[in-house]
Structures are given as structure tokens and as C-alpha cells.
């Protein structure tokens, strides 16, 4: 089965950089490499099966979230790919960090 592509939008990239920095500073590079592998596998799983997440109809019909360890992945299911719009800590309020109109397109 072909893998569905996933894209990391600018904010999701910044979130990933922050997670990397925190993990390396707190637990070291080996822990980051281990977590990065798990995270990338989960992002690919979400791209391949986006409906396993929790749909966020109050945001958009194609918006979902999925808890992963201490983070929540927010993403959009589109026709030919999945767009990761944020990877936030469980304690962060998504409405203050995620809702950007340009990410809600169905393309």
C-alpha cells in the first residue's frame, strides 16, 4: 500500500523544533532520536489513516486531533495528503496556537 504524504506547516515545524530542543536539553540526544522515530511513524500512520483521530467539526470538517504521549497532533485531512498544522503540549490551548485560515483549505 502506498504511503499518503504528510506535510508539516510552518507552525508544526516550529513546534517540532521546540520539542527537539526541549527533549535534547532535558533528556539528551539519544532520547530525541528515539522519540523522533516514534513521532514520524505516528505522523505517517495519521496520514495513512487520518480518521483514527478525533474530528474537530467546530474548526473544519477536515480537522482532526490525535494525542501522542505529552503532545497532541493537530492535522487536516485533504484529498491527496494530510497537513500537520501543530504539535502542541497537552497543556497548551489550541485555539491560541492553531487556527489559521490558510491551513483550512481542502486542496
Per-residue pLDDT tens over the stretch 58-88: 888 999 999 988 899 999 999 999 999 999 8
Instruction: Let me know if residue 61 belongs to a domain.
Output: yes
CA distances from 59 to 7, 54, 89 (A): 19, 12, 19
Instruction: Let me know if residue 83 belongs to a domain.
Output: yes
Instruction: Let me know if residue 1 belongs to a domain.
Output: no
Global pTM? Answer: 0.82
pLDDT of residue 1 exceeding 70, the answer is no
- Cβ atoms within 10 A of the Cβ of 86, count? 24
CA distance 5 to 7: 7
**pLDDT tens digits, residue range 4-48?**
999 998 789 999 999 999 999 999 999 999 999 999 999 999 999
Please report the sign of the dihedral spanned by the C-alpha atoms of residue 91, residue 106, residue 12, residue 35: positive
Instruction: Let me know if residue 69 belongs to a domain.
Output: yes
Place of cell 495513512: 48
Instruction: Let me know if residue 24 belongs to a domain.
Output: yes
Domain that includes residue 56, residue range: 6-104
Instruction: Let me know if residue 81 belongs to a domain.
Output: yes
Count up the domains in the chain and report the number: 1
SS3 call for 11? helix
Domain CATH number, residue 26: 3.30.2310.20
Q: Residue 53: left if φ>0, alpha if ψ -120 to 50, beta else—which one?
A: beta
Amino acid at each position: 500500500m502506498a504511503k499518503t504524504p504528510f506535510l508539516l506547516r510552518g507552525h508544526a515545524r516550529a513546534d517540532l523544533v521546540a520539542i527537539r530542543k526541549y527533549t535534547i536539553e532535558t533528556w539528551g540526544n539519544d532520547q530525541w532520536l528515539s522519540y523522533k522515530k516514534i513521532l514520524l511513524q505516528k505522523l505517517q500512520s495519521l496520514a495513512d489513516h487520518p480518521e483514527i483521530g478525533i474530528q474537530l467539526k467546530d474548526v473544519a470538517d477536515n480537522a482532526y486531533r490525535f494525542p501522542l504521549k505529552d503532545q497532541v497532533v493537530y492535522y487536516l485531512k485533504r484529498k491527496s495528503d494530510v497537513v500537520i498544522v501543530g504539535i502542541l503540549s497537552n497543556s497548551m490551548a489550541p485555539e491560541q496556537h492553531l487556527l489559521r485560515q490558510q491551513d483550512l483549505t481542502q486542496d
